[in-house]
């Protein structure tokens, strides 16, 4: 993988838009289709929002690091926070209430894992956490 | 009003219209919630959410829309939406929001189906 971008975002909601802008430029250069770029934008936004909110817990002394790398098969996105991390098993997976109505929250991981081809958590105690996602060029 | 969103309300016959431009997020969702909560909208049995095609919606914004749908259901309101980009139409389907806010391809279709 060749690293194409490293960004250090302030830990403020809305900062993810800077990463999205730059990721779109890279994805366009790599030849991703428009609909896949839209998927990437949403997945990257959700990863950054989770890092700001759940990873760094809105601590403005912390940063979110976004790195993009690619080879001829895939684009790799890593979103790193400086927090303690959360147990992936504790992430809510229920998205529909008993009455059939959609649940209010818990869509970030659902969207990332469904819009990207691969999705992983990497928890590094004392060193923060990574969300790693891959989008394949061939779909 | 938040600088990232522009929300306006109007009426077309007995249908209350909430027009949304910009970012629909946890932060700006309050602006839409306030528009929905105004007396003339809250008491309307039919509500049309008119999205600009360039709207950006994240999971916090989806939560705000689910709040409106939930409140609308309690009040037996019908809520329709149109104007979303293909991507966010897909997202609405993925999260199940279309079960409570059906989406339409045009204003005419959305209004006709009430």
Q: What is the CATH number of the domain that holds A29?
A: 3.30.565.10
Q: How confident is the model at residue B3 (pLDDT cuts 50, 70, 90)?
A: low
Nearest to residue B60, comparing CAs of B94, B85, B23? B23
Tokens of A121: 């958590």
Average pLDDT over residues A102-118: 91
C-alpha–C-alpha distance, residues A128 and B108, integer Å: 50
From B38, B109, B111, select the one nearest B78 (Cα to Cα).
B111
A100 and B99 within 8 Å at the Cβ level: the answer is yes
**Spatial separation of the C-alpha atoms in residues B46 and B30, rounded to whole Å:** 21
What is the pLDDT confidence band of residue A102, given thresholds at 50, 70 and 90? confident
With CA atoms as reference, the chain A residue closest to B26 would be A13
Find the residue in A nearest to B23 (Cα). Answer: A14
Q: Determine which of B54, B56, B58, B100 to mutate to test the interface with A (most A C-beta atoms within 10 Å).
A: B58
Number of domains chain A contains:
1
Domain CATH for B107: 3.30.750.24
* Sign of the torsion angle spanned by Cα atoms A124, A9, A95, A32: negative
Domain count, chain B: 1
Q: Domain range holding A8?
A: 2-136
The range of the structural domain enclosing residue B43 comes to: 5-112
CB A16 within 8 A of CB A45: yes
Closest of A21, A75, A87 to residue A48, by C-alpha: A21
Inter-chain CB proximity B87 and A39 less than 8 Å: yes
How far A36 CA lies from chain B's nearest CA (Å)? 9
Give how far B11 is from chain A: nearest CA, Å. Answer: 27
| pLDDT tens figures, B47-101 | 999 999 999 999 999 999 999 999 999 999 999 999 999 999 999 999 999 999 9
List, as ranges, residues 59-98 from A with C-beta within 8 Å of B: 95-96
CB contact under 8 A, B73 and A107: no
Min Cα–Cα distance to chain A from B77, Å: 15
Is residue A55 predicted with pLDDT exceeding 80? yes
Cα–Cα distance for residue pair A125/A92, rounded to 1 Å: 22
How confident is residue B1, by pLDDT bands cut at 50, 70 and 90? very low
């Amino acid at each position: 993988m060749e690293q194409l971008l490293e960004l250090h975002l302030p830990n403020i909601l809305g900062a993810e838009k800077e990463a999205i802008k730059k990721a779109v430029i890279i994805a366009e250069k790599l030849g991703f289709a428009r609909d896949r770029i839209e998927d990437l934008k949403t997945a990257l936004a959700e990863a950054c929002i989770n890092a700001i909110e759940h990873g760094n817990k809105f601590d403005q002394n912390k940063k979110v690091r976004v790195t993009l790398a690619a080879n001829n098969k895939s684009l790799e996105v890593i979103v790193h926070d400086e927090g303690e991390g959360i147990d992936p098993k504790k992430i809510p997976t229920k998205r529909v209430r008993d009455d059939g109505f959609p649940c209010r929250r818990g869509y970030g991981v659902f969207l990332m894992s469904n819009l990207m081809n691969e999705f992983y958590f990497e928890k590094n105690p004392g060193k923060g956490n990574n969300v790693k996602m891959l989008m394949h060029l061939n779909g | 009003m938040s600088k990232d969103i522009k929300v306006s309300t109007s009426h077309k016959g007995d249908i209350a219209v909430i027009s949304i431009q910009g970012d629909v997020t946890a932060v700006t969702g309050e602006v839409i919630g306030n528009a929905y909560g105004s007396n003339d909208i809250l008491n309307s049995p039919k509500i049309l959410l008119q999205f600009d095609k360039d709207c950006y919606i994240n999971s916090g914004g989806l939560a705000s829309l689910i709040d409106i749908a939930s409140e609308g259901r309690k009040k037996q309101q019908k809520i329709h939406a149109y104007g979303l980009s293909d991507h966010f139409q897909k997202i609405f389907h993925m999260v199940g929001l279309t079960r409570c806010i059906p989406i339409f391809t045009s204003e005419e279709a959305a209004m006709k189906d009430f």
